[in-house]
Structure 1
Amino acid sequence: MHNSGSGGRSGGVCHVVAMPFPGRGHINPMMNLCKILASRRPNEILITFVVTEEWLGFIGADPKPESIRLAAIPNVIPNERHKAANFPAFYEAVMTNMEEPFDRLLDQLEPPPTVIIGCVELRWPIALANRRNIPVAAFWTMSAAFYSMLHHLDVFAQQRHLNVDKDKLDGQVENIPGISSAHLADLRTVLHENDQRVLRLALECISKVPEANYLLLTTVHELEAETIESLKAIYPFPVYPIALPYRI
């Protein structure tokens, strides 16, 4: 495992470990969030941004604040060239192969991590942080409306003891509480255009969020106020909308 960037910091510094899903649409917003955090308290925060060795090669030379350092875990998932050819296999590998090397990396970091920010779609950072008694924020990179739709779909499937199968669920989508008629077409698209293995794993990721300490949504409150307020009513912990620029 490799580290790049600034070295260890003295005690009292908040050490944030950021673990994005290995994809540009997740790494960019996670990095932008980290840059915002670093700019707010540059002398009080250290951020370790974790990627695979392949992604370290892609972004290692990108400009970033001194308080953000990169760390890499081994390439335990299919490379980017093969991801599109078999995305379900890539998604399953991300869910199953990355947790152990990330866990080992946490043991090597100095100072010890203060908080973990993990992509919702990784599934495992929340449980890992809880085992280590480290506060954890679940980070969602798409719209609050899409998150809410998946949340209510997961709850509905669990309550009805249904498998996430498009043929079994499709006839019942009108009856899912929390999903408006305006979103039914979107939900049908999700059910029909996604591989069922991917959908099952995605809903499993959503089901882990209640065990987090925070939910961070990359959205603007004014654009999705009703959805955000409904999510705040669902969870017993803070839900924060964060407006992120594409690049900082």
Structure 2
Amino acid sequence: MGEENKARKPHVLIFPYPGQGHINPMLQFAKRLVSKGVKVTLVTTIFLSKSLFSDPSAASIDLRTISDGFDEGGYGQAGSADVYVPTFRSVGSTSLTSLIKKLVDTGYPIHALVYDGFLPWALDVAKQFGIPSAVFFTQSCAVNSVYYHVSRGLLQLPLPGPNVYLPGLPSLQVSELPSLVCLYGSYPAWFDVVVDQFSNVDGADWMFFNIFYELEKEVVHWMSKFWKVMTIGPTIPSVYLDRRLGNDKDYGMNLFKPNTGACMSWLNGKPKGSVIYASFGSFALLEAEQMAELAWALKGSNYYFLWVVRETEEAKLPNNFIEETSEKGLVVTWSPQLEVLSHESIGCFLTHCGFNSVLEALSLGVPMLAMPQWTDQGTNAKYVEDVWGIGIRARPDEKGIVRRTVIEQCIKELLIEGEKGKEITKNAIKWKNLAKRAVDEGGSSDKNMDEFVANLLSDLRVSVFE
């Protein structure tokens, strides 16, 4: 009986690109699947498995490793995307094939593969085994629509400008497109990664997006004409949305150890809505001049601030800045971002607009001050300000630097109770409620996940009883 039950339980392999911004949403999606009676195995690289700080909330998910060709140092060992990406494709394909065979041989066959859009070769591996597959996009529908149009030659590069019009999207200035497109040729290896997401996408059985339908319904509707599109987000820990997964308050696997105690005890002593939270994620690099402008803007604003500056970036801080601002500010190397954003003392989020950060702030009703850096962030910032109305953009000068006076003015607009600040706060609350509703039982995202699980169970019943 035990063997029979093991065979009947659907088993899904989840395969994110090995980066924090890709692991987090796909791991959270995995936890949702487990709650619906699915066995889940998460695949990561050998190097990354040795580098992760794990949380008990992810214990219900099996972790398996494959090689990316750089088992001792991962991306850092490769030294560049030009080396890492093709090696991962070559070595990873062989390693993933071996893992799937091993799982089959040990009595845990795979009933579906959910792979990161950055890893389209995983779909080719799944096809060899006849495994149904879903591509999981960790960036927005709008951004991926742009990449799709480029991949199919429907958007010619370099762009003539000044505006681009695509189905289901607002009019976009060239500068509001993903930087890999508007600054064509800037990072050729990463450009190939984002465009190649669509090289074989027509062969995927499902297309998952980490959004909820209301967030981008026009472009979702357009995409649904071609593919089986399912909006399954926002995939953030359950405590902050529907609370159906018990004490699920962390993604579960972190590449950086957060300074949780220091952050939360410092915030606890601050008045409601009085703190600027500033973080540029796990990957973005600020130039030293931009770092200085931001530092002096935070000091000059005279508001409390909590600023995440990764250890590798600390040398760019102005001399004695931490000491000179110790009464108003706290600088940490990493933070428990969801706990921070949900704290009542936070008044606004100064962010690079990585899509995970945007979704987290939106889901928690926190107004945003957008300072996009590269890739999808400029498009996300456009949506934050002009489409969703939940923040404002701090605009750079002709040198590409956002000056301290601009940042200070934006902070005042958000935190002083003027008409613009009130409207942004009102919109932030509206989107927070819509995000919660989407993942609540019977919400749009929850229904899509139920449909996916039902498809797996239906196929499984056929294979068991034939």
TM range (shorter): 0.7 to 0.9
Deviation string 1:15-55 (CA, Å, 9 cap, x unpaired) is 111111111111111111101111122xxx21111111111
Question: Deviation of residue 134 (structure 1)?
Answer: 0.7
TM-score by length of 1: 0.80
Which residue of structure 1 lines up, in the alignment, with residue 147 of structure 2? 150
* Greater Cα offset, 102-111 or 219-228: 219-228
Q: Structure 1 residues 80 and 107, CA, compared in 2 at 3 Å: closer, same or farther?
A: closer
Q: Is the 8 A contact 2:164 2:171 kept in 1?
A: no
Which residue of structure 2 lines up, in the alignment, with residue 91 of structure 1? 85
Question: Deviation of residue 127 (structure 1)?
Answer: 1.6
Q: How does 1:228-243 map onto structure 2 within 5 Å? A: 228-235=220-227, 237-243=228-234
Which residue of structure 1 lines up, in the alignment, with residue 235 of structure 2? 244
Question: Deviation of residue 176 (structure 1)?
Answer: 6.7
Which residue of structure 1 lines up, in the alignment, with residue 35 of structure 2? 39
Which residue of structure 2 lines up, in the alignment, with residue 208 of structure 1? 200
In the alignment, structure 2 segments of 5+ residues that lack a partner are: 238-249, 252-466
Q: How does 1:184-223 map onto structure 2 within 5 Å? A: 184-187=174-177, 189-191=179-181, 192=183, 194-223=186-215
Q: Whole-Å Cα distance in 2 between the matches of residues 226 and 201 of structure 1?
A: 25
Give the counterpart of 2:158 among 159, 166, 169: 169
Asked if 1:51 is matched to 2:48, the reply is: no
Q: Structure 1 residues 67 and 241, CA, compared in 2 at 3 Å: closer, same or farther?
A: closer
Deviation string 1:208-228 (CA, Å, 9 cap, x unpaired) is 211100011011222211111
Which residue of structure 2 lines up, in the alignment, with residue 136 of structure 1? 133
Q: Structure 1 residues 174 and 77, CA, compared in 2 at 3 Å: closer, same or farther?
A: farther
Asked if 1:18 is matched to 2:14, the reply is: yes
Give the counterpart of 2:24 among 28, 38, 44: 28
Q: Whole-Å Cα distance in 2 between the matches of residues 183 and 149 of structure 1?
A: 13
Question: Deviation of residue 199 (structure 1)?
Answer: 1.0
* Greater Cα offset, 131-140 or 70-79: 70-79
Q: Structure 1 residues 149 and 83, CA, compared in 2 at 3 Å: closer, same or farther?
A: farther
Deviation string 1:115-137 (CA, Å, 9 cap, x unpaired) is 10100111211122122111001
Larger Rg: 2
Deviation string 1:80-139 (CA, Å, 9 cap, x unpaired) is 462695233223333332111011110001311111010011121112212211100100
Q: Whole-Å Cα distance in 2 between the matches of residues 116 and 212 of structure 1?
A: 10
2:42 aligned counterpart, secondary structure: strand
* Greater Cα offset, 113-122 or 187-196: 187-196
Which residue of structure 2 lines up, in the alignment, with residue 70 of structure 1? 63
Q: Whole-Å Cα distance in 2 between the matches of residues 60 and 230 of structure 1?
A: 40
* Greater Cα offset, 207-216 or 75-84: 75-84
Q: Is the 8 A contact 2:100 2:110 kept in 1?
A: yes
TM-score by length of 2: 0.45
Q: Is the 8 A contact 2:180 2:187 kept in 1?
A: no
Question: Deviation of residue 66 (structure 1)?
Answer: 5.0
State the percentage of identical aligned residues.
21
Q: Structure 1 residues 24 and 188, CA, compared in 2 at 3 Å: closer, same or farther?
A: closer
Q: Whole-Å Cα distance in 1 between the matches of residues 206 and 175 of structure 2?
A: 30
The runs of 4+ residues in structure 1 deviating greater than 4 Å are: 172-177
Q: Whole-Å Cα distance in 2 between the matches of residues 112 and 188 of structure 1?
A: 39
Q: Is the 8 A contact 2:141 2:209 kept in 1?
A: yes
Q: Is the 8 A contact 2:162 2:174 kept in 1?
A: yes
2:213 aligned counterpart, secondary structure: coil
Q: Whole-Å Cα distance in 2 between the matches of residues 220 and 84 of structure 1?
A: 36
In the alignment, structure 1 segments of 5+ residues that lack a partner are: 1-8, 163-167
Q: Whole-Å Cα distance in 2 between the matches of residues 203 and 173 of structure 1?
A: 22
* Greater Cα offset, 77-86 or 27-36: 77-86
Question: Partner letter of residue 61 of structure 2?
Answer: I
Asked if 1:182 is matched to 2:178, the reply is: no
* Greater Cα offset, 21-30 or 191-200: 191-200
Which residue of structure 2 lines up, in the alignment, with residue 106 of structure 1? 100
Q: How does 1:113-128 map onto structure 2 within 5 Å? A: 113-128=110-125
